[in-house]
Structure 1
Amino acid sequence: MVFCEIEFSNNPQGIFYAGQLVSGQVVIKTDKAKPVKAVVLQIKGYAETHWGDTQYDPEDQSNGESFSGHVDYLATRAYLHGSSSSIEVVIEPGTSTYRFACQLPITCPSSFEGTLGRIRYLVNVRFVRPWKFDQNFNRCFTVLKVMDLNTESLMLRIPSQVESQRTFCCFPCRSSPLSMRLSLPQGGFVPGQTVPVEVTVTNDSGVAVEDITVKLSMVVIYYSQPPCADTNKDHFVMVQKTGEGVSTKSSKQLTFDLKVPPTPPTCFNLCSIIQIGYQVEAEARVKGCHGGQSLHMPVTIGSVPLSQQLQKEPRIWGEEQQLQQLDARELVLIASEPAGETHCPPNPWAADPSIAPPIYAKAQHICPDPHKFDKSKKKSQKKPAKGTPEKKKEDILFTPLYGVFDLSNQVEEVIVIPNQIKTDGGYVNDEVDKSTWL
């Protein structure tokens, strides 16, 4: 029997930031001599998408056309036993330890597990066995993009708002407008931070608003690659709160506090087949058969929070460590660990003592079905010819961890609204002067 364990140096959770050094060890234990062709250590990082349409084709008995995409970010290997040309080597009984180190490219996107695609990083130890299927041992790890909100854009610091109006019925019975405004104090947030969403509704129509719902949502766009290029989309509601309605010929202002849960940073430019964005959505549900009114505003989710002061120069975390880093994508086996050396990777907040490191947690709003994803892939693959054994591929279940900040000790300017009444859905102020924004 072969036992294989993959460990990371001083990093039991297996959480790394793009550009950091991944180091660890592989421990192999055998109770007797094992003949193999080779033992290969691989570190992989890739993005993949896959989905199919729902149309059934009776001619080839398939479920229609299949769409997929694949991009490699890290693909490197080293041989622990044997080589690519070896015929057979023997692993002696006992315990063997192999230390390794690999440099992550600075352009790696964050780990993500969705319903139609994933961005995944893993360490794989493969035993290439003669006359048998290969035996694999895997350990997935989390890679996070360093997205510092302080260096992204100054626009993330300023307040923003969006407005919309709608009327009911048609001319000449058209009603006065139902107006709604959605306001945010800034455009960038991090997990653990509270997003104060202000919704102002002026209902000059004759149709009452039953309630107002505000959501913080993640929108994921998946892309497939030629010859079947297409797009698909996921919409995950992260946080949702509902407040009271607005009667006819009246105005109301509510503030909803939406706490950002564990989630990956916004990603539009690092992955060509998976893009992740966020938006705040507000909807006013009206009585009767009329359709409600809704509007949304994009927000940016980062991995380093906005500081109280503007940064004069872009902050480059780990700049001193990067001078001694290995070449990106190179996997190195280390003969022995130098005495007294630590392998704890630097964190992006070392240069700013005012930012406390986050805790890490799993995303609860994303509920991917890895079995459904893998089954859809298998349906599109050609079956082996008769008499050829089909290799069984085990599903790897993994959920990345994302940083959650505690910013409760930061001093922020609070604007107190007079005659403010707290409700289940937020804070309401009935004395709104609509002339200030119409």
Structure 2
Amino acid sequence: MVICEIEFCNNPQGIFYAGQLIRGQVVVKCDKPKPVKAVILQIKGYAETHWGDTQYDPEDQSNGESFNGHVNYLATKAYLHGSSSSIEVLIEPGTSSYRFACQLPITCPSSFEGTLGRIRYLVNVRFVRPWKFDQNFNRCFTVLKVMDLNTESLMLRVPSQVESQRTFCCFPCRSSPLSMRLSIPLGGFVPGQTVPVEVMVSNDSGVAVEDITVKLAMVVIYYSQPPSADTNKDRFVMVQKTGEGVSSKSSKQLTFELKVPPTPPTCFNLCSIIQIGYQVEAEARVKGCHGGQSLHMPITIGSVPLTKQLQKEPRIWGEDLQTQQFDVKTLILVGNEQSEEPRSPPNPWAADPSIAPPIYAVAKHIFPDPEKVSKAKKKTQKKSVKRSNAKIGEDIVFSPLYGVFDLSNQTEEIIVRPNAMNGDGGYANEEVDKSTWL
């Protein structure tokens, strides 16, 4: 029997930021001599999407069109035993350990596991055995994109608002407008922070608003690649709060607090087949058969929070790194006699001592549709049968971990909370001058 353990020396949890160095070791235990052609250590990072168009036959996806995409971010390997030749070697009984180091590219997107695609990083040890199937040992790890809100657009520090109007019925019976304004004090937040959302409603129509619902939603867009290029989309509600309604011919201001849960950073430019965005949504549900009114506003979720003061010369992650002792994406084996290993950049928030390190947790708001997952897995399995080189680790269940910050000791008074709380998540400000809004 062969036992193979994969450990990370500089982060036992297996959580790394793009640009950091992975240091670990592989421990192989054998109870008797084992013949192999090679033992290969691989570190992989890739994004993939896959779904099927089942409009022809929903029971058999092979009759429909398949949409797939794949992009590699990291693909490197080293031989622990043997070589690329077919000559057999013998692994002696006992315990052997192999130390390794690998530099992550600074452009790696964050780990993500979705319904129709994923961004995954893993360490694989493959035993190429004579006259037998290869034996694989895998361990996935989390990679997080470094998105420092202080180095993004200055507009993230500026309050934002969006407003809309709608009327009911048709001319000449058209009602006066129902107006909504959605406002937030900042445009960038990190998991653990609270997003204060202000909704101002001026209801001059004759239709009463039953309640106001505010949501923080995650929108994921999946892309496939030629020859069947297409897009698909998922939407996950992360947080939802509901406040009281607004009667006709009156106005009301509601304030909601939406705490950002563990979630990957916004990502539009690093992955060409999976894009992740966030938006705050507000909806006014009205009485009767009329459709409600809704509006939304995009926000940015980062991995390093905004500081209290604007930095004159923001620190760009990785700009102070000297040339590494080996090329990026190269996997090296570190001998036991080598005392000094290639250095890794510090954690991205370390430049600001007032920011406490985050804790890490699973994103519980991402609940893939079981039916979609089942169909996607079925399609993947059928596709794998037709390939002689099925992807390593594609049947592994893995949940990435995302950083959650506790910034309660440095939160500024961004918004003044009214005294009274209404519904299960809204604050109503009854002191608003209802005659002068707009």
TM-score by length of 1: 0.93
* Structure 1 residues 193 and 290: alpha-carbon distance in aligned structure 2, compared to 1, 3 A threshold: same
Aligned to 2:381: 378
Q: What is the count of residue pairs matched by the alignment? A: 432
Give 1:380 shift.
Answer: 4.1
Contact 2:54 2:63 (8 Å CA) reproduced: yes
Note the 1:136-151 alignment, pairs <5 A: 136-151=136-151
Contact 2:196 2:255 (8 Å CA) reproduced: yes
Aligned to 1:204: 204
Unaligned runs of 5+ in 1: none
Aligned to 1:118: 118
Provide Cα deviations, 1:219-266, integer angstroms capped at 9, x if missing partner. Answer: 000000000000000000000011111111111110000000000000
Note the 1:312-351 alignment, pairs <5 A: 312-317=312-317, 319-324=319-324, 326-336=326-336, 338-339=338-339, 346-351=346-351
Q: What is the one-letter code of the residue matched to 2:125?
A: V
Contact 2:62 2:379 (8 Å CA) reproduced: no
SS, match of residue 155 in structure 1: helix
Give 1:86 shift.
Answer: 3.0
Give 1:382 shift.
Answer: 5.7
Give 1:351 shift.
Answer: 1.4
Note the 1:213-362 alignment, pairs <5 A: 213-317=213-317, 319-324=319-324, 326-336=326-336, 338-339=338-339, 346-362=346-362
CA distance, structure 2, for counterparts of residue 317 and residue 216 of structure 1:
28
Contact 1:11 1:344 (8 Å CA) reproduced: no
CA distance, structure 2, for counterparts of residue 160 and residue 82 of structure 1:
60
CA distance, structure 1, for counterparts of residue 254 and residue 348 of structure 2:
36
Give 1:337 shift.
Answer: 5.7
RMSD value, Cα: 2.3
Note the 1:408-419 alignment, pairs <5 A: 408-416=408-416
CA distance, structure 2, for counterparts of residue 394 and residue 46 of structure 1:
11
CA distance, structure 2, for counterparts of residue 246 and residue 61 of structure 1:
48
Provide Cα deviations, 1:190-211, integer angstroms capped at 9, x if missing partner. Answer: 0000000000111111111111
SS, match of residue 328 in structure 1: coil
Bigger drift between 422-431 and 205-214 goes to 422-431
Give 1:115 shift.
Answer: 0.2
Q: What is the one-letter code of the residue matched to 1:229?
A: A
CA distance, structure 2, for counterparts of residue 2 and residue 352 of structure 1:
46
CA distance, structure 1, for counterparts of residue 437 and residue 412 of structure 2:
25
* Structure 1 residues 229 and 317: alpha-carbon distance in aligned structure 2, compared to 1, 3 A threshold: closer
Contact 2:252 2:434 (8 Å CA) reproduced: no
* Structure 1 residues 160 and 24: alpha-carbon distance in aligned structure 2, compared to 1, 3 A threshold: same
Unaligned runs of 5+ in 2: none
Provide Cα deviations, 1:341-367, integer angstroms capped at 9, x if missing partner. Answer: 797862112211111110000000012
Contact 1:14 1:142 (8 Å CA) reproduced: yes
Counting aligned pairs with the same residue, the percent is 83
SS, match of residue 271 in structure 2: coil
CA distance, structure 1, for counterparts of residue 427 and residue 393 of structure 2:
53
Confirm or deny that 1:48 pairs with 2:48.
yes
Aligned to 2:184: 184
* Structure 1 residues 136 and 358: alpha-carbon distance in aligned structure 2, compared to 1, 3 A threshold: same
CA distance, structure 2, for counterparts of residue 25 and residue 347 of structure 1:
22
Confirm or deny that 1:18 pairs with 2:3.
no
